[in-house]
Amino acid sequence: MLHYTLRRLLMAIPTLLAISLIIFLLLGLAPGDPMAQLPLTIPPEVKEKMRQSLGLGDPLMLRYLLWLKQFFLVEPLHVLDTLFGLDLAGESQRVVSWQSRAPVADIIAQRLPQTLWVVGLAYLVGIAIALPIGILSAYRQHSWFDQIGTLVAMIGFSVPTFFTGVVLIVVFSVELGWFPSLYDTTLRVTGWDSFVAQLRQMVLPVTVLALYNASQISRFMRASMLDNLRQDYVRTARANGLSERVVVLVHVLRNSMIPVVTVIAMGVPQIFGGAIITEQVFKVNGIGELLISSIQANDVPMVQTLTFIFAVLIVLFNLIADILYGILDPRIRYD
């Protein structure tokens, strides 16, 4: 198992390096100019100096290496510093946003909790809905429950999240007035009232994302259950006189969960990507909204870092899925 995990870990490193190079080159070679929005009255010499101070005069590969060092060495050290009150990083230069002149990591740290709350809760709710539906519709294949479940799941992943979000806003905040349509970003949870307000404003974005996730996961659960229900060991278990409950919920379910668990792990980065759109619909000030606003403001370091964080999430959760698969299904380890 250790050997297997180590091999997967080592394979992730070149992938990450290649992705970081792609992202860096894409932004570095792009025709956009960060100085384009400055007033024309600034003399060219001053403009040139500003370019130098942003590090734009250096050759591309040097800038790439510098960025790698900042991202993998300096920023983690700063994070450790703030967490434990140390001084490991010293005066080393950080990745600074062109838009706000603050370190990129600090801004992301401010925005991350909102995304994690909304996305994380939505994923948990989605899984909690999806698993029972998947199990039941596989157990009663072709029943009306299965038919309706299939239809709802099909609608769930065919309707784009921005449209579900907008429809929910029209119904529940414009017509019924139950929930606020926009996320109040200044709300601080201090007592019961503000906690309820926070819950109320999270309901709609969480519902949108949860429905989308649930429709996908329930399909996987159903397919995996169906595969297992047809196996010989199920017939053996029934022939041995085990109760139907034990056969389905212990024997079949445990085996069916193996692929579903990995699908759930691999779906995590995707929902961060999906959150970009949902955050935009409800104006949640998470990292997705930060990405869009930085793209619109041409803030290259911020966009680079955020895109790379999304890539790290994908690689990381693929790794977790691989390792989980290795733990749950020992046959995988010996490929």
Partner 1 sequence: MTEAVAAAPRRRSSQARDVWRQFRSHRGAMIGTVILGAILVVVIAGPWLWHLDPTAVAMRMRNRGPSLEHPLGTDQLGRDMLARLITGGRVSLTVGLTAMALSLVLGTLVGVCAGFLRGLDGILMRLTDLFLALPLLPLLLVMSMLFREPLAQWLGAETGVFLLIVTAIGGTSWMHAARLVRGEVLTLKEREFVLAAQSIGTGRGKMILRHILPNVLSPILVSATLGIASAIITESSLSFLGLGFPPDFPTWGRLLYDAVDQIQLYPMRVILPGIAISLTVLSVNYIGDGLRDAMDPRARAR
Binding site for partner 1 (CB under 8 A): 15, 18-19, 22-23, 26-27, 30-32, 150-151, 154-155, 157-160, 162-163, 166-167, 169-170, 174, 269, 273-274, 276-277, 280-281, 291-292, 295-296, 298, 303, 306-307, 310-311, 313-315, 318
- Residue 85 beta carbon to partner 1: minimum distance, rounded to whole angstroms: 33
Nearer to partner 1 by Cβ, of 145 and 162: the residue is 162
Nearer to partner 1 by Cβ, of 4 and 212: the residue is 212
Nearer to partner 1 by Cβ, of 75 and 299: the residue is 299
- Residue 27 beta carbon to partner 1: minimum distance, rounded to whole angstroms: 7
- Residue 30 beta carbon to partner 1: minimum distance, rounded to whole angstroms: 4
Rounded distance, CA 122 to CA 212, Å? 9
- Residue 128 beta carbon to partner 1: minimum distance, rounded to whole angstroms: 25
Q: Helix/strand/coil (H, E, C) string of the chain?
A: CHHHHHHHHHHHHHHHHHHHHHHHHHHHCCCCCCCCCCCCCCCHHHHHHHHHHCCCCCCHHHHHHHHHHHHHHHHHHHHHHHHHCCCCCCCCCCCECCCCCCEHHHHHHHHHHHHHHHHHHHHHHHHHHHHHHHHHHHHCCCCHHHHHHHHHHHHHHHCCHHHHHHHHHHHHHHHCCCCCCCCCCCCCCCCHHHHHHHHHHHHHHHHHHHHHHHHHHHHHHHHHHHHHHCCHHHHHHHHCCCCHHHHHHHHHHHHHHHHHHHHHHHHHHHHHHHHHHHHHHHCCCCHHHHHHHHHHCCCHHHHHHHHHHHHHHHHHHHHHHHHHHHHHCHHHHHC
- Residue 265 beta carbon to partner 1: minimum distance, rounded to whole angstroms: 14
- Residue 33 beta carbon to partner 1: minimum distance, rounded to whole angstroms: 11
- Residue 179 beta carbon to partner 1: minimum distance, rounded to whole angstroms: 14
Nearer to partner 1 by Cβ, of 89 and 130: the residue is 130
Nearer to partner 1 by Cβ, of 132 and 160: the residue is 160
- Residue 90 beta carbon to partner 1: minimum distance, rounded to whole angstroms: 32
Nearer to partner 1 by Cβ, of 115 and 247: the residue is 115
Nearer to partner 1 by Cβ, of 28 and 55: the residue is 28
Q: How far is CA 171 from CA 16, 93, 150, 167, 210, in A?
A: 43, 50, 24, 6, 18
Q: Which of 42, 47, 17, 60 is nearest to 300 (CA)?
A: 60
Nearer to partner 1 by Cβ, of 209 and 314: the residue is 314
Nearer to partner 1 by Cβ, of 114 and 304: the residue is 304
Rounded distance, CA 264 to CA 321, Å? 8
The separation between the first and the last C-alpha atoms of the chain, rounded to the nearest angstrom, is: 12
Rounded distance, CA 136 to CA 152, Å? 14
- Residue 277 beta carbon to partner 1: minimum distance, rounded to whole angstroms: 6
